[in-house]
Amino acid sequence: MNVLKLVYKNLLRHKLRSLLTILGIAVAVLAFGLLRTVVTAWSYGVEASSADRLITRHAVSFIFPLPYSYKSQIEAVPGVTTVSYANWFQGIYKDQSFENFFPRIAVDPETIFKVYSEYSVPDDQLAAFKKQRNACIVGRKLAEQHGFKIGDIINVRGDIYPGDWEFVVAGIYVGNDKSADETQMFFQWDYLNERSRQVAAWATDHVGWYIIRIANMNDAPAVSEAIDAIYLNSAAKTKTETEKAFQQSFVSLSGAIITSLELVSYVIIGIILMVLANTIIMSARERIREYAVLKTLGFTSFHVVGLIAGESLFISMLGGTAGILLAFPVCEGFGAQFPTMFPVFKMAGSTIAMAAAFSILVGVIAAVFPAYRSAKMQIVDGLRQIG
């Protein structure tokens, strides 16, 4: 108990230095948490992928379309329960600024919300979406960001598909859990296909990719092989893979960026260590004579180590706790600024655990050298020390 009181007294001896050290650790932990959250959010779509969903795309590249006629053939494959399809539209909403970018995808209104059961749309809104050719359904976050309401008209200038396009908001979908992407706009593929006959004949009766729901996720390899075997000798060969593998292929394109962010996040831990180690070494050096006096009074080397390690751990844990608490609102604000890039942006439990563990570990490592030196110190040498 006496050692704990001394640790507390030592901490308050140089209030400004202790405060600045705690603040430095807090900022570093905050930066670590933010960077790690960016890394996890970047690949969140991979983790949120459904095990019983497959994606069929062109074997050469995702940018090449597939014939619409493939749909009925894929539906006949054993193990397949539902087949839907989608097509990337892109286009320009208002201007080309990042804040006005969001996924605009042409889909099959009859099946899209069957294969993506994690999205919910009120029955009346879904019925209106199916009834009106140029209707669209937007995600809740997207609607909140741009103020979209039922009945609003969204004007988009086409680029891949030239011309001016008008979409009427018929509904707003919400995710059944926090991992669902609520930043997309879905509109009828038939509307795109009809206009493509005039503005992009090459895309007529073609889709971007097929989304396939299977009865048993364990049959994914067999079903994928069966689908691809059908088109092995066709002009448009296919590649069918799990949704997780499909999402991973996109994430891998940014592998260098993700690796760099991970590396920087670990470098930050080294910075925390140096900041804290410098403070503890300075404190221990200033108190060498005091430790010698304590040993003279009967305190053991174990008590001296406890004083140094206790102060180091107290500072590191206090700074780490402050950094973790600050990371929550900062991550929330960061995610709100980039909702379309990071549809799901929240600090994962693993990130919190790593930040806490590193804070404790840094506190221990920073105290090793000064604690060892003070424990081995001879009383006479300590009393002879000046400054």
* Per-residue pLDDT at 198: 82
Q: Quick one: DSSP state of residue 116?
A: -
* Residues 293-336: tens digit of each pLDDT: 666 766 777 777 777 777 788 888 888 899 999 999 998 888 87
Classify the phi-psi angles of 163: left when phi > 0, otherwise alpha if psi is within -120 to 50, otherwise beta: left
Cβ contacts of residue 134 below 8 Å, gap of 6+? Answer: 165, 166, 167, 168, 187, 188, 191
How many residues in the chain?
387
* Residues 225-270: tens digit of each pLDDT: 999 999 998 989 999 998 888 877 766 656 667 778 778 888 888 8
CB half-sphere exposure, 256, CA atoms < 13 A: 1
Cβ contacts of residue 271 below 8 Å, gap of 6+? Answer: 28
What percent of the chain stands above pLDDT 90?
A: 39
Q: Which two tokens stand for residue 357?
A: 């563990």
* Residues 328-364: tens digit of each pLDDT: 999 888 887 777 677 777 888 888 998 898 888 888 8
Q: Which two tokens stand for residue 234?
A: 């066709």
Q: Which two tokens stand for residue 8?
A: 């507390």
CA 349, CA 264: separation in Å to the nearest integer?
20
* Per-residue pLDDT at 190: 94
Type of residue numbered 109: P
CA 337, CA 99: separation in Å to the nearest integer?
8
What mean pLDDT value characterizes the chain? Answer: 84
- The domain limits of the chain are 2-44+254-384, 60-236
* Per-residue pLDDT at 171: 95
* Per-residue pLDDT at 384: 65
Checking if the pLDDT of 136 tops 90, the result is: yes
CA 313, CA 361: separation in Å to the nearest integer?
9
Of 29-33, 109-113, 219-223, 379-383, give the lowest mean pLDDT range: 379-383
Angle at 275 between CA 272 and CA 279, to 5 degrees: 135
